[in-house]
Structures are given as structure tokens and as C-alpha cells.
């Protein structure tokens, strides 16, 4: 029969084929005396980590392998590992040799005894990030400082990838978790009850044995977006900020095309309303098309329209902009005719126009 208390250690892997054969024997030594299972969650690595892992699992009944196809991401891999496990204590660590194996039994012991979570910390007294270049160091410090403010409980290293958690605690916060990116621990610390007992233990973050870090620029950007979403984002959506930035670039495009058409194709500086309007319309429509594609690729990249959907999106975007222009005009004229200063009237109209425009496009072009 299996013992009652089991440590389930999750090893998320992506292209760690070279590291596993060294890590697993060392792990078995480090976990001697602790009933455990090791679950490797691999995202169908091109270097066939899952195959190496499976070969190792054949020789050791405590090792299990989940090969995920079509799903990806560190946090979501860890969550999936936790869900497939049977331990009363769940733990996670990098599969590349960067985390101190000897600390594992301490993390397990701490949660097993009396704490809700136990974290291997690089930032507390006695810990260190080891050999990082200044850029990664600065980025990590900054991210950590911002992350700490969001946590419900005190922790010096909420971005650590080395921790253990009580199974029941994990299951109680599971529905609230957001499995994007690398921030699984932070997400847990943001959602656990304030009364949760968290203990930290210092360790020195080692050097990767083989291969390279998967913490890409994309993961970093996603992290910043997450920070924004859970703070200011509850008042002003990030997509609105991006939409305004795109709109600002659009004004420049409008001006550039106006100048190009009037100076190169028409006679030069325009003196008639007809020529002015022609160049202006060309500039406006180009800016609208430009804004549509930039918003589609960047602002709303999560719901990017393709093919025919993009064509119909461009049409609704044009219509929304047209109505936006009317709203802009109506508001500006309203304030102007009531004696507001000219510039203020223009700004108020533009503000209402942008909000209108954004709202209409959320409703009709990029629907959630």
C-alpha cells in the first residue's frame, strides 16, 4: 500500500533532454526517505524530452510523464502536473539543475509539518541569484518588487520557480488562477487567504547545466501586462491604452499621406477646398486602414481577425470611425457654442470620439 503522506514533485520541461538524465538520479538521492512521485510535464519538446523522460520512467515506478500536445506554458504545465498528482504536498522545481536539490526535503518538511506554502528564496538573507547578467538581474529585481505589492502574504521571492504547497490549499484557490506565463507562484500568493502561513528558505540560484532559459521577451511582456491587468487595468483596460497609442500614430500617418498626396500628386500646397478635401480624405482613409491593421496585430492580438473576418472587421472599423468623427464633431461644437475655450472644446470632442470609437469597435469589430 502507498504511504499516506506523499510528496508530488512536478518538473515542467521544455527542451531539457540533456538535463533530465543527470537530474533524476540526483533527485532520487535527495528524496530518499520521503515517499514521493515525480511528474514530468513536457510540452512536446522538439528535442524529445518526453521520450528521454519515458525511458527513465520505465526504470523507476515513482516517475510519471505527461506529454502535452497543443498546450503550452510553464504555469499551465505546473498546474496540470499538480492536478495529475496524488501527493498531500505539491512541489515544483526547474528541470535544469538551477535549484538546490538539498532544499527539497526542507520545503516538503515545512509544508508537511505546519505551513501552507514553503518557498526557495533567492532574495532573502542568505539567498542569491548567482551568475546573472546585469540586465536579467535588474529585470528580476524590478518584477519582484512590483509583484510583492500584490501578494496577500509576505514573501521575498514571489517569482521563484522553486516552492511547495499544501494540496488542499492549492485546490481551494485553483478556480481563481490564471495559467499564463511563468508566474504560477505569484498567482498563488495573490489568491491564498491572508492567514496562510508561508515560510521561505534561502538558496543560491545555480547555473543551468545544459541549454538555455525559456524566459523569453514574450513571457516578460505578458508579466507586465498581468501586473497592469490586476492593478490599474481594473479601471482602464490595457487595450484602451494601446488603442489610443495606435490612434496617435494614425494622426501622423494622416498628416504624412496628406502631405504626400497634396505635394506630389496635386499641385503643391492646396488653395482650393476641393484639392484640400481630396488629399485629406486620402490621408484619413489611409490612417484608418493603417490603424485597423495595427490594432488587429497589436492591440487585439489575442483575438486577431484573419481572412474574411478581417475584411468585414475593416468595414465595421470604418463605420465606427465615421460615427466616432460625428461624435467628436458634435461634442466639440456643443462645448464651443457654449463658450468653452476653442482648444478645450477640440480636446473634449476628441476624447469622446476616441472612447466612442473604442467602445463601438469592442462591440462590433473585436468582440470578446
Contact segment (CB under 6 A) with ligand GDD among 91-99, 171-179, 269-277, 281-289 equals: 91-99
Contact segment (CB under 5 A) with Mn ion among 39-47, 94-102, 171-179, 328-336 equals 94-102
**Separation between Cα atoms, residue 258 and residue 254, nearest integer Å:** 6
Choose from Mn ion, ligand GDD, none: what does 42 bind? Cβ within 5-8 Å by kind: ligand GDD
Q: Which residues contact 345 (CB under 8 A, 6 or more apart)?
A: 332, 333, 335, 336
Contact at 8 Å (CB) between 268 and 211? no
Kindly calculate the radius of gyration of the chain based on its CA atoms and give it in whole angstroms: 27
| Alpha carbons 75 and 164: distance in angstroms, whole number | 14
Phi and psi at 116, nearest 5°, equal -75, -35
100 binds ligand GDD (CB under 6 A): no
Which does residue 72 bind out of Mn ion, ligand GDD, none, counting CB within 5 to 8 angstroms by kind? ligand GDD
Residue among 186, 176, 193 at smallest CA distance from 143: 186
Cβ–Cβ under 8 Å, residues 38 and 63: yes
- Which C-beta is closer to Mn ion: that of 35 or that of 211? 211
Considering only residues 203-262, where is the footprint of ligand GDD by CB under 6 A? 213-215
Interface pick for Mn ion out of 94, 100, 157, 200 (rule CB under 5 A): 94
362 binds, among ligand GDD, Mn ion, none (CB under 5 to 8 A by kind): none
Q: Shortest distance, CB of residue 79 to ligand GDD, whole angstroms?
A: 11
**Spatial separation of the C-alpha atoms in residues 105 and 127, rounded to whole Å:** 17
Beta carbon nearer to ligand GDD, 37 or 42: 42
Residue number with CB closer to ligand GDD (88 or 140)? 140
**Which residue among 116, 120, 161, 250 contacts ligand GDD (CB under 6 A)?**
161
Per rule CB under 6 A, is residue 13 in the interface with ligand GDD? yes
Give every CB contact of residue 274 below 8 A, 6+ residues apart in sequence.
Answer: none
- The x, y and z cell numbers of residue 269, run together, are 500646397
Cell of 22: 543527470
- Residues 116-155, one symbol each (x = binds ligand GDD by CB under 6 A, - = not), give ------------------------x---------------
Q: Is 98 in the site for Mn ion (CB under 5 A)?
A: yes
From ligand GDD, Mn ion, none, interface partner of 157 (C-beta below 5 to 8 A by class): none
By the rule CB under 5 A, 96 interacts with Mn ion:
yes
Which residues on neighbouring strands pair with residue 166, listed in sequence order? 89
Q: Is 74 in the site for ligand GDD (CB under 6 A)?
A: yes
Residue nearest to Mn ion (CB): 94
**CA distances (Å), origin 87, targets 2, 95, 118, 145, 167:** 11, 19, 15, 32, 7
Q: Does 42 bind Mn ion (CB under 5 A)?
A: no
Up-side HSE of residue 176: CA atoms within 13 Å toward CB? Answer: 14
Task: Using CB under 6 A, pick the residue from 31, 38, 41, 53 that binds ligand GDD.
Answer: 41
Window contacting ligand GDD (CB under 6 A); options: 50-58, 67-75, 300-308, 324-332: 67-75
Q: Which helix (H) or strand (E) holds 89?
A: strand 89-92
Q: How many residues bind ligand GDD (CB under 6 A)?
A: 22
Q: Is 200 in the site for ligand GDD (CB under 6 A)?
A: no
Residue nearest to ligand GDD (CB): 161
Instruction: Please state, in angstroms and as integers, the Cα–Cα distance from residue 231 to each residue in 171, 215, 257, 333, following that order.
Output: 25, 23, 39, 36
φ, ψ for residue 213, nearest 5 deg: -65, 145
Question: Cα(179)–Cα(80) distance, rounded to whole angstroms?
Answer: 10
Q: Which residues bind Mn ion (CB under 5 A)?
A: 94, 96, 98
Residues making contact with ligand GDD (CB under 6 A): 12-14, 16, 41-43, 72-74, 77, 94-96, 98, 140, 159, 161, 182, 213-215
Amino acid at each position: 500500500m502507498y504511504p499516506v503522506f506523499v510528496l508530488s514533485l512536478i518538473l515542467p520541461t521544455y527542451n531539457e533532454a540533456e538535463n533530465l538524465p543527470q537530474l533524476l538520479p540526483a533527485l532520487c538521492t535527495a528524496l530518499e526517505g520521503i515517499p514521493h512521485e515525480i511528474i514530468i510535464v513536457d510540452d512536446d519538446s522538439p528535442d524529445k524530452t518526453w521520450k528521454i523522460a519515458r525511458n527513465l520512467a520505465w526504470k523507476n515506478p515513482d516517475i510519471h510523464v505527461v506529454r502535452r500536445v497543443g498546450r503550452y506554458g510553464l504555469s499551465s504545465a505546473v498546474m496540470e502536473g499538480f492536478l495529475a498528482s496524488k501527493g498531500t504536498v505539491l512541489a515544483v522545481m526547474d528541470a535544469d539543475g538551477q535549484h538546490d536539490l538539498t532544499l527539497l526535503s526542507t520545503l516538503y518538511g515545512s509544508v508537511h509539518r505546519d505551513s501552507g506554502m514553503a518557498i526557495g528564496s533567492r532574495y532573502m538573507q542568505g539567498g542569491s541569484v548567482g551568475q546573472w547578467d546585469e540586465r536579467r538581474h535588474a529585470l528580476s529585481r524590478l518584477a519582484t518588487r512590483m509583484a510583492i505589492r500584490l501578494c496577500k502574504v509576505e514573501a521575498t521571492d514571489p517569482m521563484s520557480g522553486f516552492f511547495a504547497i499544501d494540496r488542499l490549499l492549492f485546490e481551494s484557490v485553483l478556480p481563481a488562477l490564471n495559467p499564463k506565463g511563468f508566474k504560477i507562484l505569484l498567482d498563488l500568493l495573490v489568491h491564498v487567504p491572508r492567514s496562510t502561513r508561508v515560510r521561505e528558505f534561502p538558496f543560491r540560484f545555480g547555473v543551468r547545466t545544459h541549454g538555455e532559459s525559456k524566459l523569453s521577451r514574450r513571457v516578460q511582456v505578458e508579466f507586465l501586462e498581468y501586473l497592469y491587468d490586476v492593478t490599474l487595468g481594473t479601471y482602464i483596460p490595457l487595450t484602451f491604452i494601446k488603442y489610443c497609442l495606435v490612434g496617435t500614430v494614425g494622426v501622423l500617418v494622416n498628416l504624412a499621406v496628406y502631405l504626400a498626396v497634396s505635394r506630389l500628386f496635386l499641385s503643391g500646397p492646396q488653395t482650393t477646398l476641393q484639392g484640400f478635401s481630396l488629399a485629406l480624405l486620402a490621408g484619413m482613409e489611409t490612417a484608418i486602414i493603417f490603424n485597423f491593421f495595427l490594432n488587429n496585430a497589436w492591440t487585439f492580438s489575442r483575438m486577431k481577425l484573419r481572412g474574411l473576418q478581417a475584411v468585414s472587421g475593416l468595414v465595421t472599423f470604418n463605420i465606427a470611425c465615421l460615427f466616432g468623427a460625428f461624435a467628436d464633431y458634435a461634442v466639440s461644437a456643443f462645448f464651443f457654442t457654449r463658450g468653452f475655450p476653442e482648444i478645450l472644446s477640440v480636446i473634449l470632442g476628441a476624447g469622446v470620439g476616441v472612447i466612442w470609437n473604442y467602445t463601438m469597435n469592442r462591440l462590433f469589430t473585436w468582440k470578446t
